[in-house]
Structure 1
Amino acid sequence: YNGGRCSLIHHNGYRFDQGPSLYLMPKIFEERFQDLGEDIHHHIDLLKCPSNYTVHFHDGKQFELTTDLSKLCRSLEKYEGNNESTLMNFYKFLNESHIHYERSVKVVLKTNFQHWYNFFNIKHIPTVLKLHLHNSVYTRACKYFKSEYMRMAFTFQTMYMGMSPYDGLGAYNLLQYTEISEGIWYPKGGFNKVLQSLESIAVEKYGAKFNYNCDVQEIIIDGKGMAKGIKLKNGNVVNSDIVICNADLVYAYNKLLPKTPYAKKLDKCKLTSSSISFYWSMNQIIPQIAVHNVF
């Protein structure tokens, strides 16, 4: 099956998404389909969530994060005070996170760092200075929000990456920007619908072939350090001009590639926590629970 962590579970007539429940940064998805000469809207029906989250605080108070700025600002005033500085500080926060978003997408997401010196290129210095890499996400939030409630509400998003807001780099508040400005979406039919569409395009338009249930034992490396194919666990060897590996970094370096000092170093790293997922089917609508809830 396709999808990996974004695959499906079918059980007793119910379908569960195993992977993400947040479709963020829609422009990035649109661009990937455009690379294939396709319009994503011809393949996927996207539904915008009416509200991003309901945040439930420890004392029973709640806060709704939404793309409706007028509604969001009214909710902010309950915690930050009904004065001009509340809105000014919020818009300053939004502007900063917008800069983090735009520059991170351009310099990090869309740049291929082939060598270490590409990363330390002098032309990146102005961008790095504006990403506030010397601050944490929580530190940046403290500059714009005075209540602990709002500091929590606008920093918990680092958990998507297994990070603490007290440790995550300040630039990661770009997540809050894309949620507020672009919204959270849901592909009708589940997130796996995106991957099904990509697979169909690859097969029907470009003649690609997908081989499932073929566990890879190792990536074959030639004497020059170049990947030249893969060896399957059944002993078969598949030679190729290009090998793309999207397995976890630590696993790939220690299980699929030849052992190196770097692989040993990675294996000793302290990894961030994963998650425990519960898949529940309900026979009724529970009005107290929103689409996304954070406790």
Structure 2
Amino acid sequence: MLMTEIFEETFRHLGTSMASEGIDLLRCEPNCNVWFSDGECFTTSTDLVHMKHQIEKHEGRHGFDRFIAFLQESQRHYEQSVIHVLRKDFPGFLSLLRPAFLSYIFQLHPFHNVWQRVSYFFQSHKLRQAFTLGSMYLGMSPFETPGTYTLLQYAELAGGVWYPRGGFHRVVHSLVDIGTRLGVQYHLSIPVEEVTVSSKGEALGVSLDSNRFVEADAVVINADLLYAYRELLPSACTGLNRGKNISCSSISFYWSLSKKVPQLETHNMFVGESFGNRFTQVYVKRHESTRPSFYVHVPSRIDPSAAPTGKDAVIVLVLVENLGGSDPKHNPCQKDEMRRLVTNVREQVILSIEKRIGIVRFRELIDHEIINTPLTWQETFNSEGGGIFGLDHSFFNILAFRPKIKHESIDGLYFVGASTHPGAGVPTCLAGAKLTAERVLEDLNIPAPWEAQNTKGRRATLRRLLFKPPWKCIIFIVTLYVTVGVVLGGTRSTF
């Protein structure tokens, strides 16, 4: 778990706290073991003394100063993104012209990529690899990911990595319990056939497959966005550019091991041999056989309840190419192709683990195995093409370019989740849920309970905005002009 303040805020707004709900957060120390292809291990941590020793081994005695400078920049990326992106709705392109946002846009480096920003501070190829692996959280190459996303490194290195005792589902179950106490009624395992829309373009409710109609003042869809537009909304509905790129998918292995493997920490990243090559994707294509980068999670390392005594539970995540929107029902060969891909990826993962951590016959420790593939994600969760991050996070798929929280032509219809603003990731989606709730309440003329205490502050902020000194207005106008020029220039070069 990253960005714990987002989770704490959610529980606080619901009138409780994570601690009161019995959620015990355990700090993961170290944050992560990064295993390079030659077997060297680089360990990241919130402990600056530890990081100084690790950095200077690769960068020399001035390397730690550059590391601190990198943290300062990524801190700006993090804090300003939380204020101006994560907590703000972008209902249209004019939202990009907010003075507060424009005054910080160049400090966020959205027109650079993550590899460029990290390379500015580090000379070692291995450290450039280690500090750009965060782009994999978005399913993108560091050469594609906007430089702003070095904020993920700050979130880890400054805020730490946390684990809810009992697993992440403890957080979900707690939120469900809180909702029940507040009068929320959950209807599970009842497929929704469609969102019913009136001739006037108003969402009236949802039709269920049991021939029932549920009337509603507002409808919020948290299903995969592309699936929702294709299957749940009238075909005449507009408001989504179907040409937007889907993120990559994954193959996940869930292993129960017959004994503990102490070389593996709670979080481990295995860097692929070609990671950091400008022309190489971070995900495996269906007909490739190279050794990929992959993530290994060992929850039993920090939470003994995750596995029987003396054993380990292991989850392996390998990013792979999405299905491209193809339907396995219409392509029976696809399942055979997927089986071959899984076999190949599994073999490459096991060989990498055995070679790098120095354990012989690791495969013989696997007592039980469950595998999820792009087909699993598509068939189980209606995820378009099996994409696990929704739409990708390239520059023209974020902010006002990302699908809106509120449908553009259907009144009373809203969205939440990875493909809408602000984007993918559990804390990001949780922040997006708050934005969606605020928009629904605003449209229904119901004040948000958590906003009452901030009313005076908002009015003061508005006065400061309206009565800025002339020199600040001049800076705003110049910044606006330059920003629009850069965006339009980027648009021409992209298309």
Task: Tell me the TM-score range normalised by the shorter chain.
Answer: 0.7 to 0.9
Q: Of residues 232, 237, 257 in structure 1, which corresponds to 2:233?
A: 257
Alignment length (residue pairs): 268
103-112 vs 136-145, which deviates more? 103-112
Alignment partner of 1:77 is 2:56:
yes
Q: Distance in 1 between matches of 2:160 and 2:63?
A: 22
Gaps of 5+ in 1: 1-22
Secondary structure at 2:172's aligned position in 1? helix
Aligned to 2:107: 130
Deviation at 1:69, TM superposition (A): 1.2
Note the 1:1-295 alignment, pairs <5 A.
Answer: 23-43=1-21, 44-81=23-60, 83=61, 85-204=62-181, 206-259=182-235, 260=237, 262-263=239-240, 265-266=241-242, 268-295=243-270
8 Å contact 2:96–2:102 — kept in the other structure?
no
Q: Distance in 2 between matches of 1:258 and 1:130?
A: 42
Secondary structure at 1:219's aligned position in 2? strand
Deviation at 1:274, TM superposition (A): 1.3
Gaps of 5+ in 2: 271-495
Deviation at 1:249, TM superposition (A): 2.1
8 Å contact 2:84–2:100 — kept in the other structure?
no
Deviation at 1:261, TM superposition (A): 5.3
Deviations 1:36-85 (A, max 9, x none): 0101111201111111111111111110011111101101111111x1x2
With structure 2 as the length reference, what TM-score do the two structures score? 0.52
Aligned to 1:10: none
Q: Distance in 2 between matches of 1:113 and 1:269?
A: 17
Q: Distance in 1 between matches of 2:199 and 2:52?
A: 61
Q: Distance in 2 between matches of 1:189 and 1:251?
A: 32
Secondary structure at 2:103's aligned position in 1? helix
Which structure has more relative contact order (CA 8 Å, sep 6+)? It is 1
Deviations 1:255-283 (A, max 9, x none): 222334554x42x4432211111111123
Deviation at 1:290, TM superposition (A): 1.1
Aligned to 1:3: none
8 Å contact 2:115–2:143 — kept in the other structure?
yes
With structure 1 as the length reference, what TM-score do the two structures score? 0.87
Query: Of the two, which has the highest radius of gyration?
Result: 2
Aligned to 1:16: none
109-118 vs 273-282, which deviates more? 109-118
Deviations 1:98-124 (A, max 9, x none): 111111111111112233322333442
The percent identity for this pair of structures is 40
What letter matches 1:94 in structure 2? Answer: L
Aligned to 1:11: none
Report the aligned-residue RMSD: 1.5
